[in-house]
Structure 1
């Protein structure tokens, strides 16, 4: 990797990217993003630059344009080879041209070629994309503007170039960033939060269904900008119908209305029995060298340390009678047991000991081989397999990994966790999508444990089978499902469904539609319904005024639906016999919808009259959009640096909650010990002396911990609730008459006021 790559002057100074302006419009569960990038060529020769940058893996690029001086150029989506030829022809004839392409290795990487930028000239490049917003553990919708692009890790002997960029120190980032968000929803906006500093939230109407917020001045684009949006009544299902383009042919995707339905199926709680689940749990942990980075800037907690703590919490929260195994990977992979073993005190002790020894010392990020090894292992009969994947890394063969997960999706559910800034959204979201599971991202100062425990709750939910979707529509109207069939439902998980509406209702009244999702849980049928209007949403004058100020591309829902179809076609292209037909369909859909794909590109060529650009072209690459670099091929370098430049550093003290978690036994109880007393902030003598005489030691210790958890860490209940339920079940099994006396004594010792009923006893 070159130390001197970048958009450079003859003196090897960065060619300035002057500023970045990002404006986001969030409508319910989806977002339209407009990014404007302003460049200036301060060299004395024409310049060709390549600007590589990340986007969310599920984003649909739908507009690309540029302004050079008084010239405005709008790009068109064309078949990739055709677009490249037009771009090259334009450059050879001295015309200004731009080319935007999606990486063939991963759908969240784009490269932007800026051709023939004259000396002293400025260029303003505008990029628009639409994306779905992921739902987080606390019901917040997450929007992330990536500031980091990891180089794709490329295994030895594999073919194809890896995306390579070099690091720019934060103090030398030569451009400014402005960032604003507008939110509108049928439900009131309760709050907007961010890991970066925001200006106060401004409501735009009295019912608080519209709001705006901006990034505070002085932000350095040295990390991802993450925004969390919270609605009141977040789990209420919604439907939005978007009218088609008047210029498009009726009967096509862009010419017909498209409906987006947001569903939160309510699985009957009477069918949930999380602690009696008898699944098989397989944990796959990234141990590449980048996992030794801090969780966030200035943190003493490394990613690998946080992952170890989280694995410990997961292990302690597993139900008795399940099976489990733990894999870890880098350039090679390891597994604790030859095959999954039954969960009990002995196997738990073995696993905990191995986890505590795990370091970020396995080199690169080769996830495919351990995945294949896991899939080759026979599933434990009548034990649904649940795969948990933790990674901060990047791979150059994302699509191959996703194919592997999809091929084995009938035998397991896959839950993924992207750790730290710049985790690959295509890999993390794609594995969860193809594995019928759930994806989470841990960035900034977030704790990993709450999000992971939410996914464990999903994994502990009973398997949902026989999922079907039926439509009830007026005569003359039909619906064509554009989303992949729903194969997995979780209590509390949102599903977005896109469908094309064809035909017109014969009724003069506002037509209504109904969607019914039916499924079976524990051999019991259940269903959820959503009634919605078929009338497309009309733009209000306020929308128009806002669009004058924030000129967003329309047809957000159509383009997300097109992206859904494009991704589905891409996943089918392993079939060599149908490859050419599928490619033709994909290219046609991409061109018609204006949504980029791996087989198409945006190309813009200036058609204006005037003098051609004179002089030879200078070819440069611009890494400045990615000031931080993590993972991938640098893992080896980082590992060597850590080995040779290691310094003494004291580990931060473990928090009392994790100390208590580490002491819990597999059955759910706690033994009475000096370590337990210390974690509770008490002396061993005091804990022993206050124990009711009739109580058994483990009963007393377990009640002490439960009272402490409820009394002092109620805000972290999502982390310890499952292991507390195990403890409660253990206590109930003892049928101890002295439990009320123990609860009273524990409150007295710890200074709490927790009632027996709060403990579930």
Structure 2
């Protein structure tokens, strides 16, 4: 027995040494490792280093339907070596990033748009030559990265990024959102493929900021203090008299300017980047719009933006519905998010009416339904559902595919089938999920409800678009009742389905496929205008009624930014083509052409700026430092022990093999010990 005890102790010591060595190696990273997506920041000796400080200043100018935002990030180097700073940051999913400036003291170097590989090569060459240089790349439609090289010891460099977005209205309210935090994404297993494309690569499951691409930030623990101050100012020129201006999650100060404009700034000089900034405003009832047309003529051509609210059908009777609630209970929903999700689901149940049927699907790593099939929304079934919801907790991964399969399965019911999907959208396989939704949708409609301080709104918006529904955002538990009541009012009033847009003297409609509209929601279409006498024809189905509208276009106003808006919407429309089976090369060529023509950052183009004068001596080395982001406010992720992403397959095999060998030897000794005891007893 003593021999076995010694062996066990030796084995544990050996495993401890192996684990320590593996962890040390996995977190010893070079500049190339970080660029490729390492989650840890260590120097060549495996020692943690202080990261550069970062300040962010945001200035937003809203004019009518167009918002122009300038984000200035200041990178400071407190160390005694030259550094390269890498920073991943969120922007609105509809941001058209078209300008970048590298600010060095009084000097301003303008960024140039180039194809992604060329821009990267220009940046790497300038970095190697000791020149100050900056690169802005799009990692996903709502995630961008900045790389800034050759920041001198004790010095600083600022990078200014400018983007445009178009603001529409919904239920009589305009809004703008500036994202400040990133919820970690889950990268799970994909469903069985329907087509086979042979490529090489790797796919890891688990939590990270940007699986498989650029997870170059250390995800902080909930109690870790990381200072990420953001200052924000906004000038609002709405173009009509305002009845209300409201900030939903930050305290603000308002002052009245000239010509009815409103100046807004944060009540504090700066805030931490742990929740999104959301501002909304409403016109006085007498100036509530139901249609708007904006146009711009430039050297790129003549462009128009149409916003139109179709009339509601009088005497509409609510159809009997089958409502399937899907709730995300994965680890990223921990804390405030799961509380808000439970409140949202309970309020959704309360919105059901006599004659409706319902079911609830919960998913994390696994998927389970409350009932085997939808049940009537009577008192008994609702009480069962309420007890089920009250016990939901957040843990595990965000495995959406089985949940979507179960929610979108074919139904023999003649009811209007509506799927309400409650999640933070913290997934990595966005494009695969959009394609999956389109394949499975059939006669259902998918409505997404975004939960938390920093949900993945790109996924939420696009998933709803693929599901021919709409997106609702709930940032706090106390908003759940109001937002879900409004959601169910709209669900009961579908306005226009199977929409088609055509016209004379117009072309290039974006989006190419128009989603269904619901009460209080405008139709928004960008287009190219070819001559002065243009008109647009809109048709769709209202219940059993075919509705048509013809609108003459007589645009004389010059609204700056309409051309860029058309290009951004066209790029998004081409990217959605992947889910419809459009050839990947065609998508890449069209997106690249539009992005280069309109000077936009895209999946295939980047902005790069280079100071022509070398500043770092050849004798000085360059350290690369990844800046961690703050945990979104209210998020409580249960920490699990994981290997750093730098660990290789060989090292994992070594560790697992050692564990298996140790277990086998221990079992062998135990068996011999038992057999020996048995022989002694037999004797």
TM-score in same-fold range (> 0.5) = yes
Q: 1:557 to 1:631 in 2, by over 3 A?
A: farther
- CA shift, 1:488, in A, is 0.7
- CA shift, 1:566, in A, is 1.2
Relative contact order, higher structure (CA 8 A, sep 6+): 2
Pairing partner for 2:542 from 514, 521, 536: 521
- CA shift, 1:129, in A, is 1.4
Pairing partner for 2:231 from 161, 178, 201: 178
Determine whether 1:204 maps to 2:209: no
Corresponding residue for residue 94 of structure 2: 58
Query: Which whole-Å deviations, capped at 9, do the CAs of 1:586-640 have from their partners, x for residues lacking one?
Result: 111111112221122222222347776752110110125x3547769x44549xx
Corresponding residue for residue 644 of structure 2: none
Determine whether 1:214 maps to 2:265: yes
- CA shift, 1:351, in A, is 2.6
Corresponding residue for residue 420 of structure 2: 388
- CA shift, 1:373, in A, is 2.9
Q: 1:12 to 1:465 in 2, by over 3 A?
A: closer
> Any conservation in 1 of the 2:60–2:235 contact (CA below 8 Å)?
yes
Q: 1:460 to 1:441 in 2, by over 3 A?
A: same
- CA shift, 1:235, in A, is 4.4
Q: 1:431 to 1:536 in 2, by over 3 A?
A: same
Corresponding residue for residue 646 of structure 2: none
Determine whether 1:285 maps to 2:327: yes
> Any conservation in 1 of the 2:296–2:561 contact (CA below 8 Å)?
no
Q: 1:92 to 1:218 in 2, by over 3 A?
A: closer
Corresponding residue for residue 603 of structure 1: 608
Secondary structure of 2:463's partner? helix
Pairing partner for 2:403 from 357, 370, 374: 370
Gaps of 5+ in 1: 247-254, 295-302, 506-512, 539-554, 639-761
Pairing partner for 2:508 from 480, 505, 521: 480
Corresponding residue for residue 119 of structure 2: 83
User: What is the alpha-carbon distance in structure 2 between the residues aligned to residue 576 and residue 560 of structure 1?
Assistant: 25
Pairing partner for 1:433 from 458, 465, 470: 465
Query: Which whole-Å deviations, capped at 9, do the CAs of 1:512-539 have from their partners, x for residues lacking one?
Result: x55443322222233456555322427x
- CA shift, 1:470, in A, is 4.3
- CA shift, 1:113, in A, is 0.8
- CA shift, 1:570, in A, is 1.6
Query: Which whole-Å deviations, capped at 9, do the CAs of 1:332-390 have from their partners, x for residues lacking one?
Result: 111112233343344334333322332224x1222222112323x21234223211111
Determine whether 1:556 maps to 2:561: yes
Q: 1:202 to 1:447 in 2, by over 3 A?
A: same
TM-score (norm 2): 0.78
Determine whether 1:340 maps to 2:374: yes
User: What is the alpha-carbon distance in structure 2 between the residues aligned to residue 447 and residue 99 of structure 1?
Assistant: 39
- CA shift, 1:173, in A, is 4.7
User: What is the alpha-carbon distance in structure 2 between the residues aligned to residue 613 and residue 515 of structure 1?
Assistant: 62
Query: Which whole-Å deviations, capped at 9, do the CAs of 1:619-674 have from their partners, x for residues lacking one?
Result: 110125x3547769x44549xxxxxxxxxxxxxxxxxxxxxxxxxxxxxxxxxxxx
User: What is the alpha-carbon distance in structure 2 between the residues aligned to residue 115 and residue 611 of structure 1?
Assistant: 10
Q: 1:304 to 1:172 in 2, by over 3 A?
A: closer
Q: 1:119 to 1:514 in 2, by over 3 A?
A: same
User: What is the alpha-carbon distance in structure 1 between the residues aligned to residue 520 and residue 381 of structure 2?
Assistant: 32
User: What is the alpha-carbon distance in structure 2 between the residues aligned to residue 225 and residue 464 of structure 1?
Assistant: 32
What is the 5 A alignment of 1:724-735? none
Secondary structure of 1:258's partner? strand
> Any conservation in 2 of the 1:267–1:490 contact (CA below 8 Å)?
no
Q: 1:108 to 1:268 in 2, by over 3 A?
A: same
User: What is the alpha-carbon distance in structure 1 between the residues aligned to residue 411 and residue 166 of structure 2?
Assistant: 34
Indicate the structure with greater strand content: 2
What is the 5 A alignment of 1:478-557? 478-504=506-532, 514-528=535-549, 532-537=553-558, 555-557=560-562
- CA shift, 1:33, in A, is 1.0
Gaps of 5+ in 2: 1-25, 28-37, 190-201, 205-210, 642-683
Determine whether 1:145 maps to 2:145: no
User: What is the alpha-carbon distance in structure 2 between the residues aligned to residue 451 and residue 265 of structure 1?
Assistant: 23
Q: 1:220 to 1:522 in 2, by over 3 A?
A: closer
